[in-house]
Amino acid sequence: MAVGAHPEPDLSPVLSPVSSRYINRELSRLDFDERVLAMAEDPKLALLERVRFLAIFSQNLDDFFQVRVAGLKEQVLAAVAVSSPDGMSPLEQLKAIRSRVEGLINRQVAIYNREIVPALAQSGIALMRGEEVSKKELAQLHTVFREQIFPVLTPLAVDPGHPFPYISHLSLNLAVMVRDPQRRQQRFARVKVPPVLPRFIPLIEGERYVPLEDVIALHLPLLFPGMEIVTHHPFRVTRDGDLDDVDSDAEDLLAAIQTELRRRRRHARVVRLEVDPGMSDEVLDLLTRELELQPADVYQIDGLLDMGSLSVLAQIDRPDLKEEVWTPTTQPRLRGIAAEVPDLFAVLRAGDVLAHHPYDSFATSVEAFIDHASGDPDVLAIKQTLYRTSGPASPIVRALIRAAERGKQVVALVEIKARGDEQANIGWARALEEANVHVVYGLLGLKTHAKVTLVVRREGGHIQHYLHVGTGNYNPNTARGYEDISLLSADSDLGADVTELFNLLTGYSRQSRYRKLLVAPTNLRAGITQLIEREGVVGGRIIIKVNNLIDQEIIDALYAASQSGAQIDLLVRSMCSLRPGVPGLSERIRVRSIVGQFLEHSRVFSFGNGGRPAYYLGSSDLMPRNLDRRVEAVVPVTDARLRQRLQQILDVSLADDVLAWELGPDGSWHRVPTTRGLNSHNRFKELAIESAHRNGSNGVPHV
């Protein structure tokens, strides 16, 4: 049955058993993707914002298949008998995933075909299919094809002399059946749609675009001269894309990662095949056989394949079809740093600084901190963890290189197993090494996910430490679209803790005790659990904001605290395995999720502490991988003004009734009814503007 063929699919949620204490993590992840898709369905949003959410939904599904589905398939093949915490076997999860994904893609295709394409056309942006172009436009496409596309194409035949070609990960292809008019034989050929070319080819007359695969299909006779084109259909392959099984104990981790990347480019298992529903049984059987797939791995898409590429169209210069571009403000106490009026280090000695991105500028806070340190003659060393960044052109990477060139001791701990960025991270790690930056790759067996920078400065007769601890990556690009929080501090205890953390990461150390810092995998799990347990009394209060909450021990601790009388609010952007509102188990727990213009990414922890609230922020989600298999850093926020600011962020997020969804006891998500009309993203913009107008006042405006 073609996905997208039925206008009114049965979209009843596939849930893990209600009797279970936990919600299945894979289905919870698809629940999040559904919330993203709902943004594309919202007619109140600007049109190109809806297009952007359609693209994000597709990209999310790609990630889900190459990691989560791939992992479940490995379990099935290995005959692993372990069930998930909610009681589902790997095979049961795969079946439930198939059902959910079919329904979601039905909705995606319907919204694209029935609403997005017509609305774009009415706005002067026409997405044409190959059969819809005029004769004049076809003549233009002939020229474009001959000059720009034809030289890049390589048709690959399949016959006794030509084995079935390798189909690369996430590649878009044309399956072509040709017939030799003399021998009357039919043969299969594959034409890869080159990813180096634009996915949508613009036409001269107005903003009209044709998918690249359609342009190629119109010109197949030029690729197979003298042959008859019998059929042609697009298809797309998704392979296992996770590197977590790389031998982290290898003597040369860099070489091990490169070897695995090369191996996976050629041998990673195919986990999904997306095809045009009109594809013949003969061609479909050939593809499934050669790619070693089962029918359940095939998704027939009755529309454009790879809607993730719509992100290109979302960038078209049409301000009238987009949300107003947000220009971040500079945190009041950091104003004038760029003009070298105040000394940034003097600002931090006078008190910690909190920046809420993207509302507060990343460039004038975190980037400015590292840039300031790179040029300060009294700075002796800069040490930084780098999980994802924007590459060698990143202002942060350039600042580290300048610091090394000026003779400072510069250490960059690069995580080369950051999924999807492995090859890029290897590339700019080598650029750092060439600039005499000391590049290390962290601890054996653990990913380094902490977001920490340490600056060591000589001040008179003593050494002063300055530091940054954040919730997001050192990436200026994502900092414009991800909601994150940064703490800049000169706290001596934190400075000592971060110094010892870097000694652990770069040398031989078994550091397990810290003055203030909570570090995974040493004391973070125990620390968070103890903080939760302390609130397990009548009047106890817990607010936690994370991306994902799936760790059983943490969930059980939250259940116990709820049963003992604590009121608990959880802001969970994506996966949540905790089942809230269940009598006798979690009736005092509320779970909400915010999906909007910016990606909710910060991790904040608030505990009532008997009327003296304690606040923490950091890099860790509440997942086994974060608590047990990664290096994470969570820092307490002790400054009274900054604690007030964190509480404000939590209060605004909890009051949102425009972007917020709420999780029910049955595992289903529902939009929070709009009564007050508070959009947290818009409110944070207003607060940033109000703060900018206060000329550096330390006061915090009301919600």
C-alpha–C-alpha distance, residues 293 and 284, integer Å: 11
pLDDT at 509: 64
Percent of the chain with pLDDT over 70: 87
- Least Cα distance to 207 among 115, 346, 317 occurs for 317
**How does strand 599-600 pair with strand 482-489?**
parallel
Q: Can you say how many angstroms the Cα of residue 45 is from the centroid of all Cα atoms in its chain?
A: 22
Contact yes or no for 187/175 (Cβ under 8 A): no
Which contiguous run of DSSP H or E holds residue 559? helix 552-563
Q: Write down the pLDDT at residue 248.
A: 44
Flag the least confident range among 363-367, 420-424, 530-534: 420-424
DSSP state letter for 514:
-
Q: Which of 388, 603, 382 lies closest to 475 in space, CA to CA?
A: 388
| Overall average pLDDT of the 523-543 stretch | 97
Residues 171-198 have pLDDT tens digits of: 999 999 999 888 888 899 999 999 999 9
Residue pLDDT, tens place only, 211-251: 999 999 999 999 999 899 999 999 999 999 865 544 444 44
Size (the chain), residues: 703
Asked if 449 is an active-site residue, the reply is yes
**pLDDT reported for residue 695:** 57
CA 55 to chain centre: 13
What is the pLDDT, as a whole number, of residue 337?
63
pLDDT value for 245: 47
In the chain, % helix, strand, coil (3-state, to 5) comes to: 40, 25, 40
- pLDDT bin (cut points 50, 70, 90) of residue 433 is confident
Average pLDDT, the chain: 89
Rounded distance between C-alpha atoms, residue 136 and residue 40, angstroms: 34
pLDDT of residue 343: 87
Give pLDDT, residue 6.
Answer: 37
Residue type at 278 in one-letter notation? G
Q: Which of 232, 356, 449, 681 is catalytic?
A: 449
Identify whether the C-beta of residue 428 lies closer than 8 Å to the C-beta of residue 400: no
Residues 636-662: tens digit of each pLDDT: 999 999 999 999 999 999 999 999 999
User: pLDDT tens for residues 244-292?
Assistant: 544 444 444 445 545 554 544 446 899 999 999 999 999 999 999 999 9
Mean pLDDT of all residues in 682-690: 96
Domains of the chain: 1-123 (1.20.58.310), 133-257+268-293 (3.30.1840.10), 332-506 (3.30.870.10), 518-693 (3.30.870.10)
Q: How does residue 335 score in pLDDT terms, banded at 50, 70 and 90?
A: confident
CA–CA–CA angle 606, 516, 620 (5° rounding): 55
Alpha-carbon distance 293 to 225, whole Å? 32
The answer, yes or no, to whether residue 463 has pLDDT greater than 60, is yes
pLDDT, position 702:
44
What are the backbone dihedrals phi and psi of residue 593, each rounded to the nearest 5 degrees, phi first?
-140, 135
Q: Using CA atoms, how far apart are residues 579 and 591, in angstroms rounded to an integer?
A: 9
Is 90 exceeded by the pLDDT of residue 37? Answer: yes
Looking at residue 393, its pLDDT comes to 73
206-215, 355-364, 670-679: range with lowest mean pLDDT: 206-215
Least confident of 242-246, 292-296, 592-596: 242-246
Percentage, residues of the chain above pLDDT 90: 74
pLDDT (tens digit per residue) in 489-504: 999 999 999 999 999 8
Q: Are 639 and 647 in contact (CB under 8 A)?
A: no
Q: Which two tokens stand for residue 294?
A: 């089962």
pLDDT at 322: 94
> Beta strand 185-192 with 156-158: parallel, antiparallel or unpaired?
antiparallel
Task: Label residue 66 by pLDDT band (50, 70, 90).
Answer: very high
Are 196 and 171 within 8 A, CB to CB? no
Cβ contacts of 650 within 8 Å, gap of 6 or more: 543, 545, 569, 571, 604, 606
What are the phi and psi torsion angles at 669 (to 5°)? -105, 140
**DSSP 8-state secondary structure symbol assigned to residue 236:** E
Torsions phi, psi of 315, nearest 5?
-95, 0
- Tell whether the model's pLDDT for residue 386 goes beyond 90: no
Mean pLDDT of the region 511-530: 93
Alpha helices in 316-465 (DSSP H): 344-349, 368-375, 395-405, 422-434
Task: Provide the Cα torsion 258, 259, 261, 262; round to 10°.
Answer: 120
Nearest CA among 386, 384, 346, 344 for reference residue 365? 344
